[in-house]
Structure 1
């Protein structure tokens, strides 16, 4: 029996005090598919070394910047160098760093948004194909077992023809600072130079959009959108709604807000078909609600034999034991590991650069629709 080899993992960003860095590292460790070797963890090299020492990593594999990371790693024998790199930097650095890594032949696991523009995302997609690397975009919520079960049931026709989709992502985190001009000037997500074209729709609205296309298999053809910055001197949206037209003729909604007072992380999706409906919400992720006319409500949960293969392989706990966001991210890392090794994996095992391209096109179409007086705007593919 051949020995199972762990993938050598690197990380750009994600050092001291990085919440999302912790999520990625725990997710990578959970499936026992990766070993974190080194990286460029912080723009401050001393902080990066302190972080590496805390994790008992080799300081020689802790680099001051991405250029040095690539140069030094490529100089190592192929069987020693880092193979896959996690990019968990501020938004504006995703594109240039991912581009460098892809061109150097590394597999990439990238936080979203994938880029600042759709044109940049298309360029990355072309480079991924050219250099034959695996690119994973961490739309984390697609990793939940019951989201994957939702995808399976819809593909199997359990709902009939889809005729209405409603996806919502409500948070209230920015509400305490948005009403104070001095405070909001310090929030990097409201700075176009760091956050890109959009705050709310780019940060969380795109998750709701991705959830629709992931679970239903539908493609969004057009959007009619409106966004709100709340104050004239605030350059980026903090609230928005987009009506969507899908390629099967159905319509739906993407609703997102960061000023939904006291909301925490309220992502939910409802898909209505001619035969039945499915509903799921992130704050109660173990429950998938299946509704049929004239029938009692069914509640499906992970860990049971009635679920499909994609949900089964995404479930690590016995029935009744909650699975959360770390498990969800870990499922994405597991699918990525199988792709990196050239092993078989199920469709939907991890979001790809294609999801990044679609997300950026959605964001740009929403902004164009709102900016042109709330008109239907095509998402050209």
Structure 2
């Protein structure tokens, strides 16, 4: 608990200073674009929440410097080092608005490569016939690992559209990882999970429900990278954990990304082109929002309510993953059921056939 508390307090304090001096730095740290297709805020908001998360994680890891479990401390320390390219690439975009998605993906893949080298965190088996044979070849498993980590990190950035959405979903996932890490007595992963949980909780204090600060690309890529690497380490260091456990706990952001690419290709749009048709945006417009009300406080309230719908959706994957983390077939079936439910929900909203129990 010391790790969580330390990470939380430092994240909270850094957030206080960032917001207290907002007028000094908002010209280059604020989200000044209030008209973009993915924008729902009405005032300039700092988008450097990733700094809070990073500082909290560092504090949570460093507090264990004198711990007798040196191995656990080293895992966290090396993950921080590995995360730097992913975080700095995202933060540079937050500050300059000039770092494209391809460069951010490349830097996150670089972070994955560094983590693979320092921690031997390579995906050499995903319990898929045929693919596992290919993953015995070094150049393939290195490329696949870097691609997978970059993809997962980007998926968390993709769902970062409403106050508390990506951050609370991340907390759910990290709690699931921490639970399984405790079950298999992997204290290195447990420590790193706790550090991230405390740091993100400190950020959520300022972000939810009114959105005083945003996670930004730096925060989203950092959290996505951290979760992806903990998942890889968990299954590579502990054979009892099914390789489908990480897939199921992360299936909401992953499938949101896959479905988004599909939607854009069908509409003959560039897969990387932003739009306002993500599931969370559809829920906001067609279930939660009152089009006749433009009051800023009401918009903030509707923003926070929207996130709660997606938290419930994420629970549909995280809960069975926690219950059946050892059982491949149940995890695979749960993954398929989640994807089916996601598609059904999306098309129900698109066709205005919203179930009564979802309506406000």
TM-score category by the smaller chain? under 0.3
Give TM-score scaled by structure 1 length: 0.26
Higher relative contact order (CA 8 A, sep 6+): 2
More strand, by proportion: 1
More helix, by proportion: 2
When Rg is computed on C-alpha atoms for both structures, the one with the higher figure is 1
